[in-house]
């Protein structure tokens, strides 16, 4: 699905009384998710264990 097709699909799923802010918020959310998935595919993710260790340090501080 192209970016344009995804944007149109997202807009079509919104309620008929959606505001411009609703449209922008939803598209920004989808764009962020797509960016994150692309980064994971490129191997740019952080291992789950590393995140767990970092959270443990934050919570014990």
Domain residue ranges of the chain, discontinuous segments joined by +: 3-60
pTM: 0.72
Calculate helix-pair angle for 3-13, 20-41, nearest 10 degrees.
140
Rounded distance between C-alpha atoms, residue 32 and residue 57, angstroms: 27
pLDDT in tens, 18-43: 999 999 999 999 999 999 999 999 99
Distance from C-alpha of 28 to C-alpha of 10, rounded to nearest angstrom: 11
What pLDDT sits at residue 61?
74
Which distant-in-sequence residues (6+ apart) come within 8 Å of 27 by Cβ?
7, 10, 11
Residue 4's nearest CA partner among 22, 27, 20, 25 is 27
């Amino acid at each position: 699905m192209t970016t344009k097709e995804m944007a149109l699909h997202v807009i079509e799923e919104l309620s008929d009384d959606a505001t411009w802010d609703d449209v922008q918020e939803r598209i920004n959310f989808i764009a962020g998710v797509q960016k994150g998935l692309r980064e994971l595919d490129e191997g740019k993710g952080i291992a789950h264990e590393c995140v767990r260790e970092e959270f443990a340090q934050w919570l014990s501080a």
